[in-house]
Amino acid sequence: MITITPAAAERIRFSAAEGNMDGLSMRIAAKRNEDGTIHYGMGFDDTELEGDIHIRAGEIDVVVAENSQALLEGTTLDFVELEADNWQFIFMNPNDKNYSPPA
């Protein structure tokens, strides 16, 4: 369902340790916007909701709500330097109308 690159996994583990969130799962959510693009959310979570699925991706425990599962199918989460000293998580998702595979 979701692939987490080694760079993204490393940053998630760092953030968990920094925020005293070790042991919590990473919840990833997706919602389709009116223009067809996809809005993403992610954060550490210890709640259990009906319909959640739990997966292990890139050594990270991930939780996805039932209503986000189809939108996240085939998604890769990466952590990249977009510009000098500007690192960000990016979602590469074939379900997003603006997605183009990396060259």
**pLDDT tens-digit map of 30-61:** 999 998 889 999 999 999 899 999 999 978 99
Number of domains in the chain: 1
In sequence order, what are the residues at sequence separation of 6 or more whose Cβ sits closer than 8 angstroms to the Cβ of residue 103?
Answer: none
**pLDDT tens-digit map of 57-78:** 978 999 999 999 999 999 999 9
Q: How far apart are CA 16 and CA 59, in angstroms?
A: 13
Flag whether 78 is in a domain.
yes
Residue for token digits 């039932």?
A: 66
Domain holding 87, by residue range, is 2-92
For residue 34 the two structure tokens come to 């009116």
CATH number of the domain bearing residue 37: 2.60.300.12
Flag whether 98 is in a domain.
no
Flag whether 36 is in a domain.
yes
Flag whether 62 is in a domain.
yes
Question: How crowded is residue 53: how many other Cβ atoms within 10 Å of its Cβ?
Answer: 13
**pLDDT tens-digit map of 8-32:** 999 999 999 999 999 999 999 999 9
